[in-house]
């Protein structure tokens, strides 16, 4: 019966440099992982011997060991096997190279490596970033993690780009803690939906990061790990080049695609090291549906936290007259109607004030830090996000879900295309 399966205990003995891979697909399933002896890590975070880690449906995990170990799984996994071939030695060599650059940076009081990870969808870019950040922080470094993947990003909610300072290894089951993230609002699932806006935000995040690196010596020598999105052809490739420029990238790790590797060797300045890395055979492909679910889950976690670390959001009314809601991007005008000096693409990053209406229902709104509602507002970072859960036109008010209690920290709000159905 199902109950028996839940109590299945399997023990795995791993040789040095092998990994146990497992996946949980079934809904509401729980699997417990315990390290019995030896040493092991999950994407660069060390397991504590004897401690039990809990994973739920959707988890796709690799437990890797350098020295060999015995681990135990309790519960029903949909896939579980031991792999002896992994690219971990190559990833570790990359880390060693980056750390050598950090040592040089420390000696000369210059900037540490600005390392960008690129490749198509489902090659393990986010995982490689996590491994490199974990190895860095385990050696006492304090790197910045930058994520410019709008749709599948790991910082704040989808539809944004941003950065966090990494001061501790990622939690095995929850990723990196996100205190005071630096977040910019784009409001789309893909950078192609408003390329002009996305490029402006990359430039802005890049220059803010540059300033922040100068403030803290330890972070300056530790440098940045930059995660990108899996769109690598045509306009997507242009965004990669723009990211390289915006962040003064000097190391590019190209996962899995030799063509992309060759293009980047051809198109990047000489001081940039471009390195090809194979993907891990363990990386699991995600369907379009799974990507949509990931976005929903990220938003739900933003408001409600995780099972282990629950958050309690607030719900309150906001009068239409107390806020100004903008959308980014005005309709295009024919060239003949453009004011002198205005370029045909400028309208894409213009702010348009909108009258609150029922169409706002379920949409996310970012709360801007900006003091003024001019066009520079899009370049200021976000205080946070709220979700519209009701629009009452008669009483001229919105009901919103907010991580913070009333009042909102600012009355300037930006509309996101992303929606969230609050089912709590």
Residues making contact with ligand ATP (CB under 6 A): 21, 60-62, 121-127, 149, 152, 230, 280, 282-284
84 vs 319, beta carbon nearer ligand ATP: 84
120 vs 329, beta carbon nearer ligand ATP: 120
> Least distance from C-beta 243 to ligand ATP, angstroms?
14
Tell me the residue nearest to ligand ATP as measured from the CB.
Answer: 282
Three-class SS of residue 346?
A: helix
CA–CA separation, 362 and 413 (whole Å): 15
231 vs 302, beta carbon nearer ligand ATP: 231
Distances, alpha carbon 71 to alpha carbons 12, 31, 85, in Å: 5, 13, 18
Beta-carbon contacts of residue 416 (< 8 Å; ≥ 6 apart)? 157, 159, 185, 187, 188, 363, 364, 365, 366, 385
> Least distance from C-beta 352 to ligand ATP, angstroms?
31
58 vs 68, beta carbon nearer ligand ATP: 58
> Least distance from C-beta 128 to ligand ATP, angstroms?
7
Three-class SS of residue 176?
A: coil
43 vs 326, beta carbon nearer ligand ATP: 43
> Least distance from C-beta 368 to ligand ATP, angstroms?
28
Single out the residue of 240, 295, 245, 271 nearest to residue 421, CA to CA.
Answer: 295
230 vs 403, beta carbon nearer ligand ATP: 230
Tokens of 61: 């995990």
CA dihedral 410, 182, 239, 241 (to 10 degrees): 140
171 vs 284, beta carbon nearer ligand ATP: 284
Q: What is the DSSP letter of 171?
A: B
Single out the residue of 299, 308, 315 nearest to residue 420, CA to CA.
Answer: 299
> Least distance from C-beta 213 to ligand ATP, angstroms?
24
> Least distance from C-beta 409 to ligand ATP, angstroms?
31
Single out the residue of 337, 59, 4 nearest to residue 174, CA to CA.
Answer: 59
> Least distance from C-beta 288 to ligand ATP, angstroms?
11
């Amino acid at each position: 019966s199902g109950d028996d399966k839940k109590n299945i205990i399997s023990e795995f003995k791993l040789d040095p440099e092998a990994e146990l891979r497992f996946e949980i697909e079934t809904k509401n399933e729980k699997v417990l992982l315990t390290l019995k002896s030896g040493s092991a890590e999950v994407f660069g975070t060390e397991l504590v011997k004897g401690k039990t880690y809990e994973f739920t449906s959707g988890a796709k995990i690799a437990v890797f060991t350098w020295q060999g170990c015995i681990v135990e799984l309790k519960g029903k996994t949909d896939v579980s096997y031991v792999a002896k071939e992994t690219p971990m030695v190559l990833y570790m060599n990359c880390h060693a190279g980056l750390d050598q650059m950090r040592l040089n940076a420390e000696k000369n009081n210059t900037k540490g490596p600005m390392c960008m990870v690129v490749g198509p969808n489902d090659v393990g870019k986010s995982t490689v970033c996590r491994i490199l950040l974990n190895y860095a922080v385990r050696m006492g470094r304090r790197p910045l993690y930058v994520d410019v993947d709008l749709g599948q990003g790991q910082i704040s909610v989808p539809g944004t780009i941003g950065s966090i300072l990494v001061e501790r290894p990622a939690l095995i089951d929850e990723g990196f803690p996100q205190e005071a993230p630096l977040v910019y609002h784009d409001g789309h699932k893909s950078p192609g939906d408003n390329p002009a806006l996305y490029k402006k935000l990359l430039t802005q995040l890049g220059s803010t990061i540059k300033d922040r690196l100068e403030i803290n010596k330890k972070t300056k020598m530790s440098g940045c790990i930059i995660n990108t999105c899996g769109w690598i052809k045509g306009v997507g490739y242009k965004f990669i080049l723009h990211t390289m420029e915006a962040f003064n990238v000097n190391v590019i790790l190209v996962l899995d695609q030799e063509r992309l590797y060759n293009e980047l060797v051809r198109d990047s300045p000489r001081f940039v090291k471009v390195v090809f890395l194979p993907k891990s055979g363990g990386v699991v492909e995600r369907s379009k549906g799974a990507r949509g679910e990931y976005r929903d889950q990220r938003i739900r976690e933003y408001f409600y936290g995780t099972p282990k670390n629950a958050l309690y959001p607030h719900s309150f009314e906001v009068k239409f007259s107390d806020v100004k809601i903008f959308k980014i991007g005005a309709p295009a005008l024919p060239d003949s109607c453009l004011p002198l000096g205005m370029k045909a693409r400028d309208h894409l990053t213009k702010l348009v004030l909108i009258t609150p209406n029922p169409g706002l229902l379920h949409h996310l709104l970012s709360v801007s830090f900006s003091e003024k509602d001019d066009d520079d507002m899009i370049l200021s970072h976000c205080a946070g996000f709220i979700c519209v859960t009701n629009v009452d036109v008669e009483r001229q008010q919105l009901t919103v879900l907010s991580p913070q209690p009333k009042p909102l920290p600012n009355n300037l709000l930006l509309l996101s295309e992303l929606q969230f159905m609050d089912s709590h």
